[in-house]
Structure 1
């Protein structure tokens, strides 16, 4: 498994909240899915509310 750095943003009370997090995944698409899943459950967000700007290895 590779480690991917994922950058993006999601809406918060004070405006857009930017994030940068590292995820272990076999490829970029799985890394994106994990971000949608994790941020959705932690922040009660829908997939359409999360914007992923970059996925880098």
Structure 2
């Protein structure tokens, strides 16, 4: 079965994007959230990328 990048319905804080990425990469969601927070703080486009991912990524079934 092929893996799909989807937003998480169960492991989410805002939109489930970080939980879905962590599930896809088989890693801890906290690490993905910390990396996302660093991108938002230090790279201005991090927030825009998160919003785009929240809109484009489907929810897991």
TM above 0.5? no
Relative to its length, the structure with more strand (as a share) is 1
Q: Which has the higher contact order (CA 8 A, sep 6+)?
A: 1
- TM-score, length-scaled by structure 1: 0.30
Relative to its length, the structure with more helix (as a share) is 2
- TM-score, length-scaled by structure 2: 0.29
